[in-house]
């Protein structure tokens, strides 16, 4: 079994990455192969909305842009579970997460029920540092993407700097449970 964690914060070793690593640690303790993807280290551009908004993404399920989007999508397609961690900016998910998820949902459009990510378990995490505000709102937006992509939502976790420690422990347990329940 393989579990991929994607984190979309520009901060290396910040709260968002710490949470992603906690879930991966739990998955690994249950025997999973793990991988951490730092989306902000990659070249993933915003959707071009080509051909009146429906280019090859609609007809072929692939984006015309040649950047790091498709390799990350392939990693998730080949995995057995996903952890997706976003920092909270202005009560919403990060811009890099939006760019990636916007392109992904367009490319899944033609796949519908045949998509390899249908019913794949996902843990969504929204990390609000600073005031701690907006985590739940950002998580709702992340949940909407997951539902559109037809993931099976395994857990949705709002985290603030105030509940950080026990959420880290909870994410270790969630990562482990994701692997154990997916066997």
List pLDDT tens digits, range 116-152.
899 999 999 999 988 889 999 999 999 999 999 999 9
DSSP for 119-168?
Answer: T-EEEEEEEE-TT-TTHHHHHHHHHHHHHHHT-EEEEEEEEETTTHHHHH
| Domain boundaries 2-45+71-104+117-181, corresponding CATH code | 3.40.50.360
Boundaries of every domain in the chain:
2-45+71-104+117-181
- Structure confidence by residue, pLDDT tens digits, 86-112: 999 999 999 999 999 999 998 887 777
- Of 34, 155, 177, whose CA–CA distance to 85 is shortest? 155
């Amino acid at each position: 079994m393989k579990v991929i964690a994607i984190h979309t914060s520009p901060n290396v070793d910040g709260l968002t990455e710490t949470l992603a690593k906690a879930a991966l640690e739990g998955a690994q303790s249950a025997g999973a192969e793990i991988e951490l993807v730092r989306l902000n280290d990659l070249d993933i551009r915003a959707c071009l909305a080509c051909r009146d908004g429906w280019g090859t993404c609609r007809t072929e399920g692939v984006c015309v842009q040649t950047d790091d989007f498709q390799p990350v999508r392939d990693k998730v397609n080949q995995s057995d579970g996903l952890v997706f961690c976003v920092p909270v900016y202005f009560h919403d998910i990060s811009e890099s997460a939006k760019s990636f998820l916007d392109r992904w949902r367009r490319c899944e459009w033609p796949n519908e029920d045949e998509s390899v990510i249908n019913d794949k378990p996902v843990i969504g995490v929204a990390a609000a540092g600073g005031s701690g505000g907006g985590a739940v709102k950002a998580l709702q937006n992340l949940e909407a993407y997951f539902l559109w992509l037809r993931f099976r939502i395994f857990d949705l976790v709002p985290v603030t700097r105030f509940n950080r420690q026990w959420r880290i422990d909870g994410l270790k347990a969630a990562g482990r449970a994701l692997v154990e329940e997916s066997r």
